[in-house]
A = this chain, B = another copy of it.
Amino acid sequence: MEPGPPGGSRPAERGPCLSSPLGADLAASASLLSAAGAEAGRRPLAVAAVLPAGGCGERMGVPTPKQFCPILERPLISYTLQALERVCWIKDIVVAVTGENIEAMNSIIQKYQHTRISVVEAGVTRHRSIFNGLKALVEDQPNSKLCKPEIVIIHDAVRPFVEEDVLLKVVIAAKEHGCSDYDLEFGTECLQLALKYCHTKAKLVEGSPDLWKVTYKRDLYAAESIIKERISQEICVITDVKEGEENVGHLLKEVLKSELPHVKVTSGALCHARGDLQQIILKQCYNFVCVNVMTSDFQETQKLLSVLEESNLSILYPVVVVSVHFFDVKLVPLGQKMENLMSIRGFAKEVRKRNILLCGLLICYPQGEQKLQESLRQAAIIIAALIEERNSGLVGQLLIA
């Protein structure tokens, strides 16, 4: 699978930097670390991160080291890099992997378009890997693009759900307590080592339950479910009729809202407001329901697919597109309508290569108010199933509500 073209770049992330749900105190501290703080006349604190990723994952019970195990077809370590990349005040991220994995690591960085990442060879132990990472940050190499940091965060490659607030607390603690830069850890084990051997004041920073480590196979399952849940929080309904006009696309949107109360349902139209859609894509919506009412067959869906392909939204996560069609059994036999829509199989196969999961959904219409509502409710259940599962085995199928 090649989710993105080598040339394109993925849309900017909903990065928390400064604007995010950090508390006021933390936001103020974050500003000291970022360019914004620097512009106010203060030199921003130079922060880097080192990720030891040389482990073999023996407790996982699978042959692949856990940091390279795929979640939605993307290696776990890429999720961890993504979490650190979103924090704009971390200038450099150094990953230490075993010699045999350096090439694979570089491919991951290229494929998922990670930035600010350097790869070094891991040592025989975790601590030696950290040492190698630190060495790369402080050595005066003539061609090195790395900045010499004042604070280095050591972060496990298998803790993908780290948030900016925790990292910030760690940096603040390091600044205030003068911990040595390579002892700061999210566990107590390293804290005890630091206290025992390093003649330094170490401080344990409270993490959040999200900061758990992927250790066992069950943790991979949990991580996959959490990621699937996170990217299923918003559905964008695209219709080929004008916003505000009463139509069946609008009805479907309302039913989606009431049947899936935990999901944010937004809408857009391609015909007159392509800019809107770009905004939605920029806000990282990974689920689209494309309602073809006015236009025949897949005209609207094809437009949406080409916008999505251009956007590179699907580089990090599989994007689900449900192409919705309506039919009236009194006008066209169901079998004929289904046969007409079979071309979805070809489109689906094509966009699958770009990490877009396309399915069709045929909704019976009209059959009287009550029956239509029942069809739409059924449609909402099917849409929810497709989005929640995000299973590539079902692409190109034409489902019926």
Contact = CB atoms under 8 A, between A and B. Distances in A.
Interface of A: 59, 209, 212, 216, 218-219, 221-226, 333-339, 342, 345, 381-382, 384-385, 388-389, 391, 393-394, 397-400
12 contacts: A209-B218, A212-B218, A218-B219, A225-B225, A333-B335, A334-B338, A335-B339, A338-B339, A382-B393, A382-B394, A384-B393, A389-B389
Given A382-B394, A393-B381, A209 B59 contact: yes
Nearest to A161: B218
Task: Report copies per complex.
Answer: 2
Contacts of A209: 59, 216, 218
A165 B202 CA distance: 42
A347 to B, nearest CB: 14
A338 B219 CA distance: 41
Contact of A222 (B59, B221, B393): B221
Label chain A's interface by main secondary structure: helix
A361 to B, nearest CB: 10
A400 B398 contact: yes
A249 B334 CA distance: 28
Contact of A399 (B222, B223, B337, B394): B394
Contacts of A399: 394, 397
Contacts of A212: 216, 218
A60 to B, nearest CB: 10
A225 B224 contact: yes
Contact of A393 (B219, B226, B339, B385): B385
A75 to B, nearest CB: 19
Contacts of A388: 391
A392 to B, nearest CB: 8
Contacts of A226: 218, 221
